């Protein structure tokens, strides 16, 4: 990757940094006007766009000693791209704003931009603009737009009793990686890399929409926490079958080393950006999805999410300000 001889962003300057960012942001055919003006222009052939935004704050969402700037760029882009996929949309463009101290390494910022552009390219999207500002800590704000291709959006509120709850993508891996890093280790490598660079099942979102998914959500804060959002919005209960939840050998081994139950990572871990969707009974699940539970009537006083028919009493996931 081409870099800059300037040591810090202050030495390179705001507009010099922007020029380097522009060189990294390859543009797709959907971009009618890319970076360099007051606003970008992106084609919306559907007449509608899905819009999402995420913010990553240094020390809260990432630590520089745990992940390279390019990894952080991948993570930042993935959070927004997965939200768009969860609506059944295909991402077309990202807008990124970066706040950081004047002494921040220029190469760090450029590597971050590289990671953002690379992750966007995985779904055929482009980074089309953004903003830069000075601040005491690094803050990365990513907004994305997506194309629904004429389909209605898949919301959180459509799940119905009798539906099948199905999961696509890895779940619990990032939480395991965070646990490993928090204890000062850097291996097993596969688990640590899962935290540094998630692998969201982007294509599964539009595929679920085409298959008739009744509801869908990006699992960013924890399977139980995010399933709770679907259950509350739909007025139903989602009952997970613990035997159907995937606990791969890698998680089993890491959990044994730390004397924890790996199922807690699967149930409460976030940042893998798996997709949880509900489908009418009898639906042939799209490739990548596996049934993990069912949707039931919600009785008076009943919890929105159950595990094996029981209210789960452990950690259910991440919530800001809690």
Is residue 231 in some structural domain? yes
CATH number at residue 171: 3.90.650.10
Q: What's residue 170's pLDDT?
A: 97
Give the model's confidence band at 190: pLDDT under 50 very low, under 70 low, under 90 confident, else very high.
Answer: very high
Rounded distance between C-alpha atoms, residue 47 and residue 52, angstroms:
17
Give the model's confidence band at 3: pLDDT under 50 very low, under 70 low, under 90 confident, else very high.
Answer: low
Is residue 317 in some structural domain? no
Instruction: Spell out a b/e string for 58-94, using b for 16 or more CB atoms within 10 Å of the CB, else e.
Output: beebbeeebbebbbbbbbbbbbbbbbbbbbbbbbbbb
Residues 201-241 have pLDDT tens digits of 999 999 999 999 999 999 999 999 999 999 999 999 999 99
Cis peptide bond upstream of 188, omega within 30: yes
Question: Are 16 and 127 found together in one domain?
Answer: yes
CATH number at residue 124: 3.30.1330.10
Give the model's confidence band at 5: pLDDT under 50 very low, under 70 low, under 90 confident, else very high.
Answer: low
Question: Are 77 and 179 found together in one domain?
Answer: no
% of the chain exceeding 90 in pLDDT: 76
Mean of the pLDDT values across residues 120-126? Answer: 96
Question: Are 196 and 88 found together in one domain?
Answer: no
Residues 22-59 have pLDDT tens digits of 677 678 888 888 887 778 898 888 889 999 999 999 98
**Where among 112, 147, 182 does a domain terminate?**
147
Q: What's residue 137's pLDDT?
A: 93
**Where among 87, 120, 147 does a domain terminate?**
147
Question: Are 99 and 220 found together in one domain?
Answer: no
Residues 248-302 have pLDDT tens digits of 999 999 999 999 999 999 999 999 999 999 999 999 999 999 999 999 999 888 8
Question: Are 134 and 213 found together in one domain?
Answer: no
Question: Are 205 and 263 found together in one domain?
Answer: yes
Question: Are 269 and 301 found together in one domain?
Answer: yes
Mean pLDDT of the chain: 92
Number of domains into which the chain is organized: 2
- Structural domain including 106 reads 9-147
């Amino acid at each position: 990757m081409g870099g800059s001889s300037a040591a810090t962003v202050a030495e390179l300057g705001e507009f010099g940094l922007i020029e380097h960012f522009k060189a990294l942001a390859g543009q797709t055919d959907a971009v009618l006007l890319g970076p360099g003006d007051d606003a970008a222009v992106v084609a919306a052939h559907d007449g509608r766009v899905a819009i999402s935004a995420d913010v990553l704050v240094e020390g809260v969402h990432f630590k520089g000693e745990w992940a390279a700037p390019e990894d952080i760029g991948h993570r930042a882009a993935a959070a927004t791209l997965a939200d768009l996929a969860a609506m059944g949309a295909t991402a077309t463009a990202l807008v990124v704003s970066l706040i950081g101290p004047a002494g921040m390494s220029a190469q760090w910022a450029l590597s971050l931009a590289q990671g953002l552009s690379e992750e966007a390219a995985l779904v055929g999207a482009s980074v089309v603009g953004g903003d830069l500002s000075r601040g005491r800590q690094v803050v990365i704000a990513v907004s994305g737009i997506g194309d629904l291709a004429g389909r209605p959006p898949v919301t959180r509120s459509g799940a119905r009793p009798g539906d099948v709850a199905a999961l696509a993508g890895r779940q619990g891996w990032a939480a395991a990686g965070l646990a490993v890093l928090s204890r000062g280790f850097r291996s097993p490598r596969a688990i640590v890399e899962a935290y540094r660079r998630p692998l969201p099942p982007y294509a599964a979102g539009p595929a679920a929409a085409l298959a008739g998914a009744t509801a869908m959500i990006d699992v960013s804060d924890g399977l139980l926490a995010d399933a709770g959002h679907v259950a509350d919005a739909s007025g139903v209960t989602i009952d997970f079958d613990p035997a159907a939840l995937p606990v791969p050998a890698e998680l089993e081994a890491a959990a044994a080393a730390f004397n924890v139950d790996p199922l807690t990572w699967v149930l409460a871990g976030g940042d893998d950006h798996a997709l949880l969707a509900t489908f009418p009974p009898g639906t042939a699940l799209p490739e990548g999805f596996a049934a993990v539970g069912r949707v039931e009537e919600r009785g008076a006083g009943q919890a929105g999410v159950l595990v094996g028919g029981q209210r789960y009493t452990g950690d259910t996931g991440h919530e800001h300000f809690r």
